A and B are shown apart, each in its own frame.
Chain A
Amino acid sequence: AQTVTQSQPEMSVQEAETVTLSCTYDTSESDYYLFWYKQPPSRQMILVIRQEAYKQQNATENRFSVNFQKAAKSFSLKISDSQLGDAAMYFCAYRSAFNNAGNMLTFGGGTRLMVKP
């Protein structure tokens, strides 16, 4: 079974600075998808960014980018120019590319990001 580990329970960053959230995963599969989800205090789950394992290029979405290291099984999220609205729980998630278990996502334990004004 796949596991996803987020080793930083909490992180803080100064507004306008850059922060990197860590995620590692364990899998024996060669093809899969990785995600970062944001959960603000409203509890809503919001997709931040998605990466396909077969793609060499790191995904980017505006101020959000990832550092995907397939050999190391690492998938970190970099937030540039941090804003107060970035304060939230962030979850890393894995999904097999094979159509098993309903294409379920396996989530990490989450990292709470605080942004200081």
Chain B
Amino acid sequence: NAGVTQTPKFQVLKTGQSMTLQCAQDMNHNSMYWYRQDPGMGLRLIYYSASEGTTDKGEVPNGYNVSRLNKREFSLRLESAAPSQTSVYFCASRRQGLNEKLFFGSGTQLSVL
């Protein structure tokens, strides 16, 4: 079982460069999420998609855009990277119901110089 696949694992950008983080899940989940993790602040929600075709802002959406390409894929784009976006990024999908659970990707360590 692949679960949630997130690429790349590491990335270094210069200020102003753009990039897209890719995420795909093979569990047929409706809801998908992008979080960023910073020391002492836990994980904060950037954007989420409650179902295919819908996306909404989370707690810290500024500087990011997302695309829910289909039910499997949910990408995060940085149009003009800034040093404040240096972080570890996690994609997740949610299994609903009695055995609710978030499944996380392995994370992307992003450094913006």
Residue positions of A touching B, CB distance < 8 A: 4, 6, 9, 33, 42-45, 47, 50, 91, 93, 101-110
Contact = CB atoms under 8 A, between A and B. Distances in A.
Contacts, number: 53
A45 B56 CA distance: 23
Given A101-B56, A101-B58, A102-B33, A45 B102 contact: yes
Contact of A44 (B41, B43, B44, B106): B106
B100 to A, nearest CB: 7
Nearest to B47: A102
A74 B112 CA distance: 37
Most buried by A among B43, B50, B88, B107: B43
B43 A91 contact: yes
Interface of B: 31, 33, 35, 40-45, 48-50, 56, 58, 88, 90, 92, 94, 100-102, 104, 106-107
Contact of B104 (A6, A45, A50, A104): A45
Given A103-B31, A108-B42, A44 B48 contact: no
A92 to B, nearest CB: 8
A43 B106 contact: yes
A42 B90 CA distance: 13
Contacts of A42: 106
A107 B48 contact: no
A50 B98 CA distance: 11
A7 B41 CA distance: 12
A50 B102 contact: no
Top 10 closest pairs, chain A to chain B, by CB = A107-B42, A45-B104, A102-B48, A107-B43, A102-B50, A43-B107, A109-B42, A109-B40, A104-B45, A108-B42
